[in-house]
Amino acid sequence: MGKIHQLKDSRGRNERQGMQDFPCLEGITYLDSAASSQTPNQVLEKMQHYYQHDRANVHRGAYALSSRATEAYEEARQKVADFLGTEAEQCVFTRGTTDGLNLLARTLPGQKVALSVMEHHSNLVPWQQRPGVELLWIEMRQDGTLDPASLDEVLNQKPDILTLTWVSNVLGTINPIGEIAERCRAQGTILVVDAAQGVPHLPTDVNQLGCHFLVFSGHKMLGPTGIGVLWGERKQLDKLPPYQFGGSMVGLVTREKTTFADLPQRLEAGTPPIAEAIGLGAAIDYLQGHGMAQVREHEKNMVAYALEKLRSIPELRIAGPQDPEKQGGVISFQLGNVHPHDVATILDRRNVCLRAGHHCCQPLLRRLTDMWTPGARAPLALLRASFYLYNGRQDVDRLVDGLQEARKVFDRG
Ligand SMILES: Cc1ncc(COP(=O)(O)O)c(C=O)c1O
């Protein structure tokens, strides 16, 4: 095991000093960033500045205050674009990943939709609701990676759309989007990437990834809730019909008909989440202060350390690849047959925040149950520890101490 990487921010402060930026972390061990990350003061200050000094609607007023609000909002869009290596017009603000996926599930044409067994409910249920849809499932192997034979079989059926998570929020598995994108492009399948767990943690260049669409949420990347992004290849975005109708997304409106605005406004009906977009822009500044390569490196080190520590606990079973190179900062596990909610309650008494349950991935948990305990009727539940740039080794140590206590309480020590 190598020495853990000491994450430094743009001001050269180390990871511990940087903790001061996150008041909510005071006295707690936060291991649930895959559900929602913490928000640094720098983001809160930017949002407060908007409310205190630039508060007006965007794209509407003829007065300076509104121009400032519009400038700040569009500047945030440019930050998103730069972060993804793309153009601002291709970045549509949404309410989050779920909203972006619903938009695509409602507007993309095609009946045959392929997806994997590791999808979050947000990347399954909206597609399931499409009238007449035929879902094609890509299975996974024991190690929580996509089954190449199943992928081949599904792609051979030439689906209209393949919608796939970049990083699994349960297994941590990083899917090979680049390779899959090449295959999709060669056969005319539209590739949608659920990047809710990807963009916040991995350096992202949408052109290198090669997908047609990509969606993510601000609150999982140090930003506020209520904001997300849908990125699309220009040619594909142009084909999308409006998803919602109302103010801001129109050109000329008469009693009889309406023409629609250009991208991205065409897909942003109504008053957008202005302060939230500005907050997301500030979160991007914060992440870039560290550098995404550094963020990734830090998480790899966290995962390596956590895997080593967790493996020393008897009866603890880990799901997923168990390889820091192949997974993001997420580790899910089971502690013998102690129910994850009981373990999470004991950890909570030690101020260790951990998620327990099905993690919005019931088909995946069903599949894991069939692999781990064939014939079991009740599906598994799992504990999940997820890391971000503000976590350190001491957080893993506290987790492990808590798990040891749980074993004793439930008489497994
Ligand atoms: C892989 C994945 N997709 C989609 C979502 C949904 O994100 P949101 O609730 O921000 O819309 C999540 C949230 O946990 C996720 O982990």
Residue 249 and residue 410: Cα distance in Å, rounded? 58
pLDDT at position 6 is: 57
Same domain (yes/no): 283, 300: no
Instruction: Say if residue 195 is in the same domain as residue 322.
Output: no
Judge whether 5 lies within some domain. no
111 shares a domain with 22: no
80/328 Cα distance (integer angstroms):
21
pLDDT surpasses 60 at 1: no
In a domain, 1, yes or no: no
Q: What's the CATH code of the domain at 347?
A: 3.90.1150.10
Boundary of a domain, candidates 237, 258, 289: 289
Q: Could you report the per-residue pLDDT of 330-362, keeping only the tens digit for each?
A: 999 999 989 999 999 999 999 999 999 999 999
- Give the Cα separation of 332 and 314 in Å (integer): 16
Helix (H, G, I), strand (E, B) or coil at 64: helix
pLDDT digits (tens, 9 = 90+) for 85-126: 999 999 999 999 999 999 999 999 999 999 999 999 999 999
Same domain, 104 and 164: yes
How far is ligand 1, taken at its centre, from the CA of residue 314, in Å? 32
Tell me: do 317 and 182 sit in the same domain: no
Ligand 1 atom closest to 98 (CA): 11
Report the C-alpha gap between 54 and 56 in whole angstroms: 6
In this prediction, residues 116-139 reach a mean pLDDT of 98
Do 273 and 376 reside in the same domain of the chain?
no
Q: For atom 15 of ligand 1, which residue has the closest CA? A: 196
Amino acid identity of residue 374, one-letter, is: P
Report the separation in Å between the CA atom of 98 and the middle of ligand 1, taken as the mean of its atom positions: 6
112-116 and 91-94 beta bridge pairing: unpaired
276 and 301 in a single domain? The answer is no
Expressed in angstroms and rounded, the spacing between residue 120 Cα and the centre of ligand 1 is: 7
> Strand pairing of 250-253 and 258-260?
antiparallel
pLDDT tier at 19, thresholds 50, 70, 90: confident
- Mutating to test ligand 1, I would choose from 122, 127, 364 the residue with most ligand atoms within 8 A of its C-beta, which is 122
Same domain, yes or no: 226 and 346: no
Q: 33: helix, coil or strand?
A: coil
Q: What is the pLDDT of residue 2?
A: 32
From the CA of 11, how far away is ligand 1's center (Å)? 31
Query: What's the number of domains the chain is made of?
Result: 2
DSSP letter assigned to residue 122: G
**What pLDDT is attached to residue 3?**
35
332, 184 contact by CB (below 8 A): no
Asked whether the predicted pLDDT for residue 10 surpasses 80, the reply is: no
Tokens 């942003």 appear where?
268
CA-CA distance, 208 to 399, in Å (whole number)? 37
Tell me the pTM.
0.96
**Domain annotation covers residue 257:** yes
102 lines ligand 1 (CB under 6 A): no
What is residue 4's predicted lDDT score, i.e. its pLDDT? 37
**pLDDT value, residue 17:** 47
Pair of tokens at residue 12: 């050269």
Give the residue numbers spanning the domain of 396.
15-39+291-409
Residue 91 and residue 163: Cα distance in Å, rounded? 19
Answer yes or no: is the C-beta of 332 below 6 A from any ligand 1 atom: no
Q: Are 188 and 211 in contact (CB under 8 A)?
A: no
Q: Is the CB of 194 under 6 A from ligand 1?
A: yes
Secondary structure of residue 332 in the 3-state scheme: strand
Band of residue 16 on the pLDDT scale cut at 50, 70, 90: low
Predicted local confidence at residue 413, as pLDDT: 52
**pLDDT for the residue 377:** 86
Structure tokens that stand for 133 in this block: 């849809």
| Cβ of residue 196 lying under 6 Å from some atom of ligand 1 | yes
Structure tokens at 272: 């957008």
Pocket flag, ligand 1, residue 122 (CB < 6 Å): yes
Distance of CA 375 to the CA centre of its chain: 32
Q: Could you tell me if 216 and 307 lie in one domain?
A: no
Mutate to test the pocket of ligand 1, among 120, 164, 173 (most ligand atoms within 8 A of CB): 120
Q: What is the pLDDT of residue 61?
A: 76
Q: Is 360 a catalytic residue?
A: yes
| pLDDT on residue 382 | 96
Q: Ligand 1 in contact with 165 (CB < 6 A)?
A: yes
Rounded-to-integer distance, Cα 269 and Cα 225, Å? 19
Where does a domain end: 289, 323, 358? Answer: 289
Mutate to test the pocket of ligand 1, among 98, 101, 163, 230 (most ligand atoms within 8 A of CB): 98
CATH number at residue 266: 3.40.640.10
In a domain, 97, yes or no: yes
Does 7 fall in a domain?
no
CA of 223 to the centre of ligand 1 (A): 14
- Residues 95 and 26 placed together within one structural domain of the fold: no
pLDDT of amino acid 410: 87
Please give the distance of CA 280 from its chain centroid, rounded to a whole number: 14
Q: What is residue 29's DSSP assignment?
A: E
Span 181-214, pLDDT tens digits? 999 999 999 999 999 999 999 999 999 999 999 9
Task: State the chain's mean pLDDT as an integer.
Answer: 94
Q: How many A from CA of 97 to the centre of ligand 1? A: 6
Query: Is pLDDT of 364 > 80?
Result: yes
For residue 60, the model assigns a pLDDT of 76
- Label residue 14 by pLDDT band (50, 70, 90): low
- 35 and 52 inside one domain: no
Q: Residue 120: CB within 6 Å of ligand 1?
A: yes
Domain boundary among 267, 289, 311: 289
Same domain, 284 and 338: no
Ligand 1: which residue has its CA nearest to atom 9? 98
Q: Helix 64-84 and helix 274-290: axis angle, to 10°?
A: 40
For residue 269, pLDDT beyond 90: yes
Cβ of 98 less than 6 Å from ligand 1: yes
| Ligand 1 atom closest to the CA of 225, numbered from 1 | 10
